[in-house]
Amino acid sequence: MQRVAFVVYDGFHSLDLTGPYEVFQTSGRYDCRVVAPAAGPVRSYSGLPVHAAHGLDLDPAGLDTLIVVGGHGADRAREDPALVAWVAEAAAGARRAASVCSGVLLLAATGALAGRRVTTHWGREAQLRREHPELRVDCDPIFIRDGRFWTSAGVTAGMDLALALVEDDHGRDAAHAVARELVLFLRRPGGQAQFSVPLRAARRASDPIRGVLAAVQADPGARHHIADLADAAGLSPRHLQRRFTAEIGMPPAAYVERVRVEAAARALAEGGEPVEALARRLGFGTGETLRRAFHRRLGVAPSDYRDRFRSTRENA
Interatomic CA distance for residues 204 and 215, integer angstroms: 17
Residue 216 has, within 13 A of its CA and on its CB side, a CA count of: 26
So what CATH class is 207-315? mainly alpha
Q: How confident is the model at residue 215 (pLDDT cuts 50, 70, 90)?
A: confident
- Counts of helices then strands in the chain (DSSP H, E): 15, 10
Q: Which of 62-76, 168-182, 269-283 has the highest mean pLDDT?
A: 62-76
Report the SS3 class of residue 76.
helix
Residues of the chain with CATH 1.10.10.60: 207-315
Give the confidence band of 315 by pLDDT, cuts at 50, 70, 90: very low
Q: What pLDDT is recorded for position 312?
A: 43
Residue 208 pLDDT level (bands cut at 50, 70, 90): confident
Positions of CATH 3.40.50.880 in the chain: 2-194
The CA distance from 232 to 234, in Å, is 6
- At 21-48, the pLDDT tens digits run 999 999 999 999 999 999 999 999 999 9
Query: Could you tell me which residue, 295 or 95, shows the higher pLDDT?
Result: 95
287 confidence band (pLDDT: 50, 70, 90): very high
- Predicted TM-score (pTM) of this structure: 0.67
Query: What whole-number distance in Å separates Cα of residue 255 and Cα of residue 213?
Result: 8
- In the prediction, which pLDDT does 206 show? 74
Q: What is the pLDDT of residue 189?
A: 55
Alpha helix (H) ranges present in 28-64? none
Instruction: Give me the pLDDT at residue 186, please.
Output: 60
Residue 134 pLDDT greater than 60, yes or no? yes
Q: At what angle do helices 207-218 and 252-270 cross, to 10 degrees?
A: 30
3-class DSSP state of 230: helix
pLDDT digits (tens, 9 = 90+) for 90-116: 999 999 999 999 999 999 999 999 999
Domain spanning 2-194, CATH class: alpha beta
